[in-house]
Chain A
Amino acid sequence: MSVSALLTPWFQRRCVSFVLVCGSTIALWVDLHLTFGQRKCIHKEHRFQKLQGICMNYHSPSSFADAARIAAQATGITRYLAGGTDVLVQMRAGAVTPDDIIDIKNIAGVHDISRTADGGFVIGAAVSGAQMGAHADLCAAWPGVVEGIELVGSTQVQGRATLTGNLCNGSPAADSVPGLVAAGAVAQVVNASGTRDVPIEDIPAGPGRANLAKGDVIASITLPARATGGGDAYMRFTPRTEMDIAVVGCSISLTVDGDTITSARVALGAVAPTVVLVPTAADAIIGTSLDDAAIDALVAAVTAAAKPISDKRGSAEFRKDVVGVLAKRVAKKAYARAKGEAV
């Protein structure tokens, strides 16, 4: 059997992720066969058999079970495709060329925002920021969550960007994550074994990493019903008014009874490797009417909880200064919303 006959079907059965691997494998074949003769044949076959380029397999499954199965069985680099506003950027930058890209947008329900029996919201994995911003009930119940996703990128990006993508991309500065964490949102994670709920704050593992196994895929994110007397808000600091990655982000969701804060969750973005839920900051304002002393305590708590780095977007010292400023402003906004005041 000639080398070419051995090589050709091998090539056609596989799309390999790195041509270097392919090249050296051919070389290995050639080396092995040199021992057995037909040197001039091999030389000719090598010239005839050019290296084939990279290919990316595009899948468009119709169920999450299928999507999860494709991911579990994939041998190379896999990416899910929802809005694509992170994946395509990474592809174009040459940072990643997926061997398999799994488009989840043709699965039933992914574009839907539906209600749970108790008044919560189930947001499908492919729901865009623009869709969320156009959903009157969602905006009324969770304005802080919508504020977050509506700050991601531009109008164009919001036409495609999703909560799931923003979450799974794993940027510590992701704009929609602090609001979800403050709201107590939960992700529905599907894999071959079934579906499980994971609190949003348990998903980010570090910059660019998520606590999801191979074969896991997020099907939807559920927001609880907005409690009576509840209000939330998200703010971030950026050098320009739009189009920047958050240098610091903060979201607070709280409930009031009269003037008194009865519950609160405070989440910080861009000041640690992942979003940070700060119970001490919540404690600082629970039971108060957000007076100056409470605000001071809130500022101290978030400043202590922030573990920022210095990078091209801001210094650690700056982030420490501003996280307190943002927390103060966000708290006031969430408080006003909780009390039903116009903001």
Chain B
Amino acid sequence: MSKVHVSTTVNGEPVEFLADTRDTLLDSLRDSLGLTGTKEGCGTGDCGACSVTVDGTLVCSCLMLGVEAQGKKIETIEGMANGAELHPLQRKFIEHAALQCGFCTPGILVASKALLEKNNNPTEEQVRYWLAGNLCRCTGYDKIIRAVMDAAAEMRGAA
């Protein structure tokens, strides 16, 4: 059957793509738009590697259809830095060695950014529970949590 034409906004830019109705938003981002920063780790919403925000809400892009992107505002890891200027979370992740293989990192960064936009002073427990849907198998989460809390502190200081 013919594909569906989708018009949407990704990282602030208007884009268009063709979607097979069975494509997930993750498929569309990666394969139709070439934005491979968002990853597929499980396809079942259990790992968070595919995290993006849609109209400001943190979601798993593997649990949305590509056709549902019509008219939405989508933010992915590729839109997190402001040109060459990294987001404080991105800087802190490098500084704290909060990544080893880096595969879960885009999803965790997008999820952490969504947290700090909602709560700029989370406790360790709040960070851990917010990120419970982002699996990391390399780090044991320790340095990730430290990086998020340090970024939050910097962003509060700068505010």
Contacts and interface: CB of A to CB of B under 8 A. Distances in A.
A222 interface: no
A58 B4 contact: yes
A128 B133 CA distance: 16
A159 interface: yes
Given A58-B67, A155-B133, A128 B57 contact: yes
Contact of B21 (A57, A84, A242): A57
User: Most chain-A CB neighbours within 10 Å: which of B4, B57, B59, B131?
Assistant: B59
A83 B44 CA distance: 13
Given A156-B45, A159-B57, A15 B130 contact: no
A167 interface: no
Given A55-B1, A101-B21, A242-B133, A130 B48 contact: no
A54 B68 CA distance: 20
A153 interface: yes
A85 interface: yes
A227 interface: no
Interface in B30-62: 43-46, 48, 51, 54, 57-60, 62
Given A55-B21, A160-B59, A155 B130 contact: yes
B136 interface: no
Nearest to A240: B132
Interface in B131-145: 131-134
Contact of B1 (A15, A88, A154, A242): A15
B22 interface: yes
A84 B64 contact: yes
A201 interface: no
Contacts, number: 94
Contacts of B43: 89, 92-93
A54 B21 CA distance: 11
B104 interface: no
A335 B83 CA distance: 54
A253 interface: no
A160 B129 CA distance: 17
Contacts of B51: 156
B99 interface: no
Contacts of A93: 43-44
B65 interface: yes
Contacts of A105: 68
Most buried by B among A57, A89, A103, A242: A89
Nearest to B52: A156
Contacts of A323: none
Given A153-B45, A243-B132, A88 B62 contact: yes
Given A88-B24, A103-B68, A156-B63, 11 more contacts: A58-B67, A84-B65, A89-B45, A101-B21, A130-B57, A156-B51, A157-B63, A157-B133, A160-B57, A242-B129, A243-B132
Give the 10 A-B residue pairs with the shortest CB-CB distance, closest first: A154-B133, A55-B1, A242-B132, A156-B60, A58-B21, A159-B57, A159-B59, A92-B43, A56-B21, A89-B44
Interface of B: 1, 4, 21-22, 24, 43-46, 48, 51, 54, 57-60, 62-65, 67-68, 111, 114-115, 129-134
